Chains A and B, each alone.
Chain A
Amino acid sequence: MKKNILIKNLFLLFLSMMSFSCEDYLDIVPDRTQEISLLFNRRESAFNALANCYSYLPKKDDIYASFVVASDEITTPIQKEPNAIKLMKGEQSVSSPKMSFWSGFSGGAYQGSIWEAIRSCNILIDNIDLVIDMQQQEKDEWKAEAKFLKAYYHFLLLTYYGPIPIVDVNIPISADDSEVRIEREPFDDVINYIVDTIDESILGLPLRVTGSNDLGRVDQIIAMAIKSRVLLYSASPLFNGNSEFYSGFTNNDGENLFNLNYDIQKWQLAVDATQEAILAATGQGISMYQYTGDIPTFDETNYINPFIKTQYDYRYVVTDPWNSELIWGNSSPVDSWWRLQSGALMKNPTASSGEAAWQWIAPTMRMAELFYTKNGLPIENDLSFDYNNRYDVTPIAFINRYVAQYGQSTAKLNLDREPRFYSSLTFDRGLNRSWGEIWNLKMRKGESHGRNANTGDYLITGYGLKKIVHPDSEGDTYDKLVRYPFPIIRLSELYLNLAEALNELNGPSQQVYDALNVIRDRAGIPNVQDSWSDSNLTSEPGKHTDQVGLREIIRQERLIELCFEGHRYNDIRRWKLGLEYFSTSVKGWSVDEDNQSDFYNVIDVGLRAFNSPRDYLHPISFNELNINPNLVQSPGW
């Protein structure tokens, strides 16, 4: 029996070795590892959760993330080609979609999937009540911010993908296959969801954010302004009764994803929302921007000339930080070499550094031709403008000394144009009011602003871009730039929305002209009736009195006023004009020529391709479709 006990003891020894607290032996992770719930302990850490919601806002000032680059407005020979350019060249693909808000993309800055943004907003809404050191009112405001952002993010996706799934509540991680396979909702349902969610958020948002620490955060005015854009888009030809493109666009169960009947009442909704937004905005002191800064000595005497003054007004409308016209700007500007501003900045000819400015981003010939003449008319309609010989070189007359170099020669196209032309573009033998001086621009090959080296750092069209470059941004080193919140929405757009929606709803009216003239007044051009009524001046007198004619006028006004701000890609698509604008090569001067006559030849400088109707909506990656068979691909892809 003694032996028996020994054997027992042997077993006990083994067992005790095992049980000498297995948990202790195998529990080796120290406590307090990081979990999301820790964010919502305190207000200070909850800011990280709020910042996370905002961080997905598109980086419009990032050459690799911006849809400013994705159009026929500008082009670039930069060696590391932006995906937006590839997109426009027809290199979009289902295997790796470019500029995909659906999947996220990397470029200069990282752009996470907008679906992550929506999840982040829902996480904040679900958890913000847990924070200990916050008042209920502040919690409600944050919740309303997140709610608005959620709606805005849905709208971003809708802009590029049309009908999309709605994620109002996060699906849990543990959900099984069938729960995560959500499908696209009909376009109108998504619009209703977005509008309802914005309306809800307005109830909780502060009227107007003015605190110097808080600028850039969402308020009621912003929400109302965005709602105007949402409803304008929803009434637009691409999305409103577009049976031409989308009659076969259905979910797997046959449900139509677009309403195939045109509904004119959608314009009414847009009109109402826009009028409401304008009223609220102007009520908060938001107004069309006028330059109020110091007048540089070189313009002290000229400034009384309205032609000069209005140039200043438009020159600063984007770049003057937090100006009176800005409704919502991105308060987290990109701060690296890949920002648009450093790619557009003109070289300071006296700077010694080779890093002066990249000069990558060049407006296309189409943009140079888009601006009105000084009479407020399109160049092809202004009888005083030598349209047919516009590429011919002509000496610069004394009268043009404020916009170009008197005594030199340039193309006729560059002379006798509206002030916004001179505020937006630089051209050979033109002037650049910058760095506290007026610079004489010389942009042919080998000249101070021309192509000097065999690199990708040159303006491939022979035009440069002023509008998004602050005049005080210096060219010595690339980072001496004045930062500004890139506009997401500004007051001008609301007037243009109003003009467009009213004309579509009821045709020409004084109300439409008034809305347009707010824009034209500030631009320093005659009002729309005056310009278009004078048969001595225009080749199409009375065009503004006809709905179709006025539609063209409104569209051109919008393309000019909002140029280089990331609107064109969306506007052209929602007007169903993709083939017209996006399918032909972009053009420029022959910048690889040094003598004048060779330089002023228009050549192709970049391919553009557009496949209609395929390219109106972005593709969903085929991997995503494999994962979620309930999702249907965008038509044509």
Chain B
Amino acid sequence: MYLYNKYLKSFLPFLALFFSISIFSQVAIVKGTVVDESGIPLLGATIVVEGTTNGVTTDFDGNYLINVKKDNAVLIFSYLGFETQKITLSDQKVVNVIMKEDLNSLEEVQVVAFSKQKKSSVIGSVSTISTSDLKLPSTNLTSSFAGQIAGMISYQRSGEPGQDNAEFFIRGVTTFGYKNDPLILLDGLQITTSDLARIEPDNVASFSIMKDATATSLYGARGANGVILVTTKEGKVGKAKISVRYESSFSSPSKVNDFLGAVDYMKLYNKALRARDQSAPLLYSIQQIYGTENNGDPNIYPDVDWFDELFNDYAQNHRINLNISGGGDVAQYYLALSHINESGLLKVEPLNNFNNNINIKRSNLRANVNVNLSKTTKIATKYYSLFERYNGPTTSANDIFGMVVQANPANFPKVYSPDENTVNFNHSLFGNKGNGGFPNPYAEMVKGYKDRFSNTTLAQFSVEQNLDAITQGLRLRGMASVRTFLSNENQRSFTPFYYGLSEIQTDEGIDYSLYQIQEGTEYLNEPSVSNNGNSNFYYELVAEYNREFNEKHEFGGLLVANFTEALNTIGGGNTSFSTLPSRNMGVSGRFTYNYGKRYYTEFNFGYNGSEKFSEENRFGFFPSFGLGYIVSNETWFEDKFPSINLLKLKYTYGLVGNDGISAPSDRFFYLSDVNLNNGGTGFAWGADYNNYYNGYFVNRYDNDNVTWEVAEKSNYGIEFGLFNKMTLLVDYFQEHRKNIYMQRDYIPETMGLTTTISSNVGEVKSSGVDLSIDYNHVFSSGLFISGRGNFTYATNEILVNGEPEYQNQNLSRIGHPINQQWGYIAERLFIDQEDINNSPEQFNGFSSNNSYLPGDIKYKDVNNDGVINELDMVPIGKPYVPEIVYGFGFSAGYKNFDFSMFMQGVARTSFFIQPENISPFVNERNALSIIANNYWSENNPDPNAFWPRLSTNTVENNEKPSTWWLRDGDFLRLKSVEFGYTIPEKFGNFFSDVSARIYFTGLNLLYFSKFDLWDPEMAGNGLGYPPQRIYNVGLQVKF
């Protein structure tokens, strides 16, 4: 009892050491050596006499010496990662033990901040995902996040190769400050989202996300938005294991927009012209329409399906990954090589001798080598290099997709077929008309190409020293890492020759001839070159202590010092602030204690400094604590509820900081940013107006008080296991984000400031639930089945916003989610002129030229002041970032066959269709079929028609954000289906130990949504590069 109290009082494990070392008695001495299965001595294995606090650990050579008081005592041998052994003593004086690797314990170890911990002892909220779940036939790792990870909100808006990173947020967006996405660490080093996207899941040993305060507060400065920790595989002692995986896939758009054909287009265009001006001359003549209907000469009567002209039906991609691991006692290695070839859907002009389609070749090499320098000293190097060559169009493919909507089918063909005057020209006769200036997406696409190579290198060196010699369970580790990124891009393009078709009246009738609108170049113009590069350095020193006493008291301690520096982001602007390095330093620590594997406590802190703040506010202290109780480890519980194999209750609370509160160019808040030679506010005097002086301009006023954004997080968790088959993890979290740096709209114009003032005023309250459920069962027949599901709900509410005290409450953001959207309430379409006359004036519609007519949108006068203007905007719909992301799936296997599928969905989200992007006929823009099918007209005066009265000009009234264009963004998609067959070993008789599996995967095969214009995951970006549906075949061979 004395001892126990003492332990509690002396929280620092370092002090506790002295007690353990000074305890011994003098009855019998037992000694021996502890080795692992391959005979390597284990250093630091614990030997305890059962039922006592009497224990020792092994030395450098695995030797131990322990005093045992009585006969028939039981010695307990334990070592992290190995099965614990109990040996009852008779009268032997030497007990040598071979420890067996605990296969379960690999699962049982959880990656935590700066270390690993037994899974059972983790109180913080950490989700770990099996890397096999991330292995989708996609070349972008981030695209597989959605619905796979409890606690992560994720969605992917674009399918453009190389530009298809998904957006992801841990527990939703919890701040409206500058940086709201998580910290991403690869083997401890900070990397970017794009780096993460390029990681090969084959090489990943563990993938975890840290969600609550105790899990993240060690990252102090950077952990407030959650942390993603990725560790790569390391070699293990044993003979070389080789794994090869090859995949080949076809991808095509998940949905293609449907546009009108030329005949329908022209007819409807003419109608649109007359819809607002009954006397307007028609643009398309009857002859033109007739000629097109009868498939006349495509030069004269074009009928262009731009989508077909621009894009192939599918693109083909290949991936190969090879990894080799193994090693001996001295060194272990993990080597991996992979190559990816990914292409886009863009067509190529036969007259060009270059390729404008997207083609990405990506190779990476990974070498992780561990060396045991001595029995107590390990060094490790990790090296990763990614080399990427990108070839693609000069205009982004996403924009080219968008341009399809800008060009209509009837104006001109993509290229004219040459006539007798142009037949020998060595250039393509790109279509246009009149004086030119109409968009020709084909010309934009094929006029040039972009060629980029880039290299990302990560190198890491670490040393770990076991200090059991000083005290049992103490280790010291140092690490230095560097990441560099370099890229060089050349763009080359020619100026397209545009041609038009002119009509010439001759005696025989109408003759047509091509004329040149724009002189182009038959050669590629001078390339435009851009370079980009940046580097990050990271150093850390870690002291760690872990020890168990008497099988009841387990102590852990961790102390970390770290330094970060990021240099020279060439592409990140060139202001004097943005070109300076950014730096961060900190000390963090963790102290854990548990009693009897039932009661757990934990205290963490991060103490961090950032270069961004004034000296007084430079450092932030972020403490957290946690409590855990594993009820199922109580003996009474096991008796009463034998079927419940796990019940754990957790609670954590703490603070985490964020210094990424503004753009790099807007750091150093304690300094003002003044342009002392500002041309815009200069003035000249003198007879000749020549005595000129520049003025000055204040871009930012200094503010010493700007400091850390702080997240106050609490988490209530429960872990529940049933029949050893099912596991349910549920977390409820709350977060109060304070000190959000934001513009303060309390400064009136009368202050005469040239810029706004910002400070730490914003506050947001978030809460939500994330849960995951797993089920595994193997039937006696050999059939196995496993199911899993994830669900994340995260919602938030702005508590304090630097906004003025609105007289119209509907404009205030307070009380609304961060990503809430504002708009007008559209009641219906105006029925007739009388309806307009009896309704409030909309957007100065009476006095401006943009007056509205029956069939245009009628808005609600929310504040009843008789006019519709900005004051009538109200929060409408759900937030743009989904509040719910979920996924569920199952896999099953029988004999050599396996099958799995996964569904994924989002809910509680809305978005706007952007009418200004799709409104047909404006500037002779293309028309989506859905508009032609349902628009308001005198003949179809449906006040709820999909599209208002047609127009060939912009009708501003109809393009305001409003409920008319608001859509529900919820969807559920069949994310992946996989069918695999493992080739029986007898097939591979001539190789020993060969296993092979062939599999077929389908990605994004189906979706269900109320929205049917385009893939709902694209939301407002509906005319961009669509998400891809992928069919994939893969072969994996292991030696």
> Do A33 and B576 touch across chains, with their CB atoms under 8 A apart?
yes
Q: Does A483 contact B (CB under 8 A)?
A: yes
Q: Does A604 contact B (CB under 8 A)?
A: no
Query: Which residue of the partner chain, among B470, B615, B685, B749, contacts A113 with CB atoms under 8 Å?
Result: B749
Q: Which residues of A contact B681 (CB under 8 A)?
A: 51-52, 55-56, 112
> Do B585 and A28 touch across chains, with their CB atoms under 8 A apart?
no
> Do B580 and A28 touch across chains, with their CB atoms under 8 A apart?
yes
Query: Per-residue 0/1 for A148-171: is the Cβ within 8 Å of any B Cβ (1 yes, 0 no)?
Result: 000000000000000001010011
Assembly CA distance A104 to B471 (angstroms): 71
Q: Which residues of A contact B677 (CB under 8 A)?
A: 48
Query: Per-residue 0/1 for B166-200: is the Cβ within 8 Å of any A Cβ (1 yes, 0 no)?
Result: 00000000000000000000000000000000000
How far does the Cβ of A438 sit from chain B's closest Cβ, in whole Å?
Answer: 29
How far does the Cβ of B959 sit from chain A's closest Cβ, in whole Å?
Answer: 16
- Nearest B residue to A38 by beta-carbon distance? B676
Assembly CA distance A34 to B576 (angstroms): 10
> Do B848 and A91 touch across chains, with their CB atoms under 8 A apart?
yes
* Secondary structure of the B contact surface, majority rule: mixed
Query: Which residue of the partner chain, among A33, A50, A95, A115, contacts B752 with CB atoms under 8 Å?
Result: A115
* Secondary structure of the A contact surface, majority rule: loop
Assembly CA distance A89 to B846 (angstroms): 10
Interface centre among B615, B680, B686, B807 (most CB of A within 10 A): B686
- Nearest B residue to A18 by beta-carbon distance? B587
Q: Does B934 contact A (CB under 8 A)?
A: no
Q: How many residues of chain A are within 8 Å of chain B by beta carbon? A: 85
Assembly CA distance A609 to B471 (angstroms): 90
> Do A627 and B752 touch across chains, with their CB atoms under 8 A apart?
no
Assembly CA distance A34 to B619 (angstroms): 26
Q: Does B350 contact A (CB under 8 A)?
A: no
Q: Which residues of A contact B611 (CB under 8 A)?
A: 26-28
B3-62, CB < 8 A from A: 14, 17
Q: Which residues of A contact B80 (CB under 8 A)?
A: none
Q: Does B751 contact A (CB under 8 A)?
A: yes
Query: Per-residue 0/1 for B538-549: is the Cβ within 8 Å of any A Cβ (1 yes, 0 no)?
Result: 000101000000
> Do B847 and A627 touch across chains, with their CB atoms under 8 A apart?
no
How far does the Cβ of A609 sit from chain B's closest Cβ, in whole Å?
Answer: 5
> Do A110 and B680 touch across chains, with their CB atoms under 8 A apart?
yes
> Do B672 and A212 touch across chains, with their CB atoms under 8 A apart?
no
Assembly CA distance A6 to B471 (angstroms): 10
> Do B753 and A173 touch across chains, with their CB atoms under 8 A apart?
yes
Q: Does A495 contact B (CB under 8 A)?
A: no
Query: Which residue of the partner chain, among A57, A115, A173, A214, contacts B686 with CB atoms under 8 Å?
Result: A214
Q: Which residues of A contact B379 (CB under 8 A)?
A: none
How far does the Cβ of B435 sit from chain A's closest Cβ, in whole Å?
Answer: 11
Q: Does B991 contact A (CB under 8 A)?
A: no
Q: Does A177 contact B (CB under 8 A)?
A: yes
> Do B745 and A47 touch across chains, with their CB atoms under 8 A apart?
no
How far does the Cβ of A612 sit from chain B's closest Cβ, in whole Å?
Answer: 15
How far does the Cβ of A552 sit from chain B's closest Cβ, in whole Å?
Answer: 30
Q: Does B106 contact A (CB under 8 A)?
A: no
Q: Does B833 contact A (CB under 8 A)?
A: no
Q: Does B530 contact A (CB under 8 A)?
A: no
Q: Does B519 contact A (CB under 8 A)?
A: no
- Nearest A residue to B576 by beta-carbon distance? A33
Q: Which residues of B contact A89 (CB under 8 A)?
A: 847-848
A400-446, CB < 8 A from B: none
Q: Does B754 contact A (CB under 8 A)?
A: yes
Using known A-B contacts A7-B470, A35-B674, determine if residue A627 contacts B804 with beta carbons closer than 8 Å: yes
B753-772, CB < 8 A from A: 753-754, 757
Q: Does B509 contact A (CB under 8 A)?
A: no
B474-489, CB < 8 A from A: 476
Selecting from A229-237, A303-311, A381-389, A618-626, the interface stretch reads A618-626
Assembly CA distance A94 to B863 (angstroms): 15
How far does the Cβ of B461 sit from chain A's closest Cβ, in whole Å?
Answer: 18
Q: Which residues of A contact B618 (CB under 8 A)?
A: 22, 26
Query: Per-residue 0/1 for B600-618: is the Cβ within 8 Å of any A Cβ (1 yes, 0 no)?
Result: 0000000001110001001
How far does the Cβ of B748 sit from chain A's closest Cβ, in whole Å?
Answer: 4
> Do A331 and B576 touch across chains, with their CB atoms under 8 A apart?
no
Assembly CA distance A171 to B753 (angstroms): 10
Interface centre among B686, B750, B871 (most CB of A within 10 A): B750
> Do B561 and A627 touch across chains, with their CB atoms under 8 A apart?
no
Q: Which residues of B contact A483 (CB under 8 A)?
A: 689
Selecting from A117-125, A240-248, A362-370, A560-568, the interface stretch reads A117-125
Q: Which residues of B contact A398 (CB under 8 A)?
A: none
Q: Does B987 contact A (CB under 8 A)?
A: no
B578-598, CB < 8 A from A: 580-583, 585, 587
Q: Which residues of A contact B685 (CB under 8 A)?
A: 54, 213-217, 331-332
Query: Which residue of the partner chain, among B476, B610, B686, B696, contacts A331 with CB atoms under 8 Å?
Result: B686
Assembly CA distance A14 to B701 (angstroms): 37
- Nearest B residue to A52 by beta-carbon distance? B695
Assembly CA distance A57 to B582 (angstroms): 42
- Nearest B residue to A1 by beta-carbon distance? B18
> Do B583 and A26 touch across chains, with their CB atoms under 8 A apart?
yes
Q: Which residues of B contact A29 (CB under 8 A)?
A: 577, 580, 668, 671
> Do A51 and B804 touch across chains, with their CB atoms under 8 A apart?
no
Q: Which residues of A contact B17 (CB under 8 A)?
A: 3
Assembly CA distance A187 to B17 (angstroms): 82
Q: Does B512 contact A (CB under 8 A)?
A: no
Q: Which residues of A contact B561 (CB under 8 A)?
A: 14, 17-18
Assembly CA distance A483 to B687 (angstroms): 10
Q: Does B693 contact A (CB under 8 A)?
A: yes
Using known A-B contacts A55-B681, A214-B686, determine if residue A34 contacts B673 with beta carbons closer than 8 Å: yes
- Could you jot down 15 A-B contacts, CB within 8 Å? A10-B543, A13-B541, A14-B541, A22-B609, A28-B582, A29-B580, A29-B671, A55-B680, A119-B752, A120-B695, A626-B807, A627-B746, A627-B747, A627-B804, A628-B804
Across the A-B interface, give the 7 residue pairs with the lowest CB-CB distance, nearest first: A119-B752, A52-B695, A90-B847, A626-B804, A51-B693, A115-B752, A54-B683
Known A-B contacts: A25-B563, A51-B681, A627-B746. Give 11 more (CB < 8 A): A22-B619, A28-B580, A34-B673, A48-B677, A56-B681, A91-B847, A104-B749, A112-B681, A173-B753, A182-B748, A332-B682
